[in-house]
Amino acid sequence: MKVTICCKRFGHTGGAEKFLRNLARCLLEDGHRLKVLAAELRGEMDDIETVPLALPPAPKAFQDLVLARASRKALQAEHADVTFSDQKCWGADVVRPGGGVQREYVKQRIKAFRSPVERTLRRAGYALSIRERLRIHIDDKLYREPGPRLVIANSDMVRRDLERHYRRLSGRIRVVYNGADPQRFHPGLAGRHRAKVRAELDIPDEALVAAFVGTGWRRKGLYTLLEALGSLSRKAGAAPVYGIVVGKGRLRRARAFAARHGAADVVRFVGLAAPEPYYGASDLLALPSFFDPCANVTLEALACGLPVITSVTNGAHELITPGREGFYIQDPADATELAKRIEYFTEPRRLSEASRAARELALGHTLGRQYGEIIEALKEVARGGRK
């Protein structure tokens, strides 16, 4: 099978780039011929055939539109059995919108602002933003007839969003959940990192620790977690509960919020870092995200044996059986419910049972399974199985 991948960036860094790099490697290992068209090529390409996608200069707000048009032209000239792209490119047979539906992203991002005034101003800002309006236009035109032959959604939530906004796609969507590497993320990280990291961060050995891993703290629900940690710290006689925040965000604002809500003494901000040591030092993952098509950190934490508490606006919540591998809350702004779910795991037996169940769940959702399902979908389209 001859496959052409078209994308904005292809390289070693960034979640989208790593996904494409791994997919390319799996295709080559499976014996397929591969070409990658990309506007930006980063790092060594090894034996992957790459072609720079020449884009004319354009103002920043219009760069995504320029990419979409150039992608369509380049893919029309290809003689591949099947072509594949993400949602920023037009013209591919198979599209994987890893970021979900842009209209839903904007709607949920607005909900992440706490005050009505902030939400109103943000809604007006998005409505007036040329860049955001063009991103929605790119989505709309991508799915316009004839559209892609197959769309790969990374959660059922994304599938429903696609069918709600683009009804013509019904019957052309396949759900393939994200996966994690069980060799990289595993329960053994606790033995390697728990004592050392907790000592470095001045966290008691007996404390229950909730990890938060992500960039874009408001959208990921960090402020809900900080409020929940504050309420738990004020409970007399309760077991100590701490939080470790891994990732990049507006640190000064987050620290001030934590101080106002009584969480300053029980939260540790470690910045951008490899997450493995902090998974190892933690007991669970708390990610009350306002919008995540299928957060990779959900699968990573499960693979480490960490129960996950997330929200229904993280598509990965669909994998979790409440009370078994974790919980999901209906409202990502509900700090009271989040605190209740975190406190549930202060009972050691519950935590131990959920840890085993989390690892078992993750072993059914590996990277190998994810890429295998995507390659099978590409083969099906190449054979003409989808119209």
Rounded Cα gap, residues 263 and 315, in angstroms: 28
The count of other CB atoms within 10 Å of the CB of residue 355 is 21
Q: CA triplet 372, 277, 349: central angle to 5 degrees?
A: 85
Determine contact, residues 340/328, Cβ cutoff 8 Å.
Answer: no
Output the DSSP codes for 25-93.
Answer: HHHHHTT-EEEEEEEEE-S--TT-EEEE-------GGGHHHHHHHHHHHHHHT---SEEEEETT-SS-S
Contact between 308 and 287 (Cβ < 8 Å): yes
**Which structure tokens are listed for 159?**
């599938």
The answer to whether 294 and 154 are in contact (CB under 8 A) is: yes
Residue 54, CA atoms < 13 Å, CB-side half-sphere: 1
**CB–CB of 68/140 below 8 Å?**
no
Output DSSP code: residue 238: P
Residue by residue, pLDDT tens for the chain (387 residues) are 999 999 998 876 667 888 998 899 999 999 999 999 999 887 766 788 889 988 998 998 899 999 999 999 999 999 999 999 988 899 999 999 999 999 999 999 999 998 899 899 989 998 889 999 999 999 999 998 888 999 999 999 999 999 999 999 989 999 999 999 999 999 999 999 999 999 999 999 999 999 999 999 999 999 999 999 999 999 867 789 999 999 999 999 999 999 999 999 999 999 999 999 999 999 999 999 999 999 999 999 999 999 999 999 999 999 999 999 999 999 999 999 999 999 999 999 999 999 999 999 999 999 999 999 999 999 999 998 444
Alpha carbon distance, N-terminus to C-terminus of the chain: 18
Enter the pTM of the model.
0.93
Domains and their CATH numbers in the chain: 2-179+367-382 (3.40.50.2000), 189-362 (3.40.50.2000)
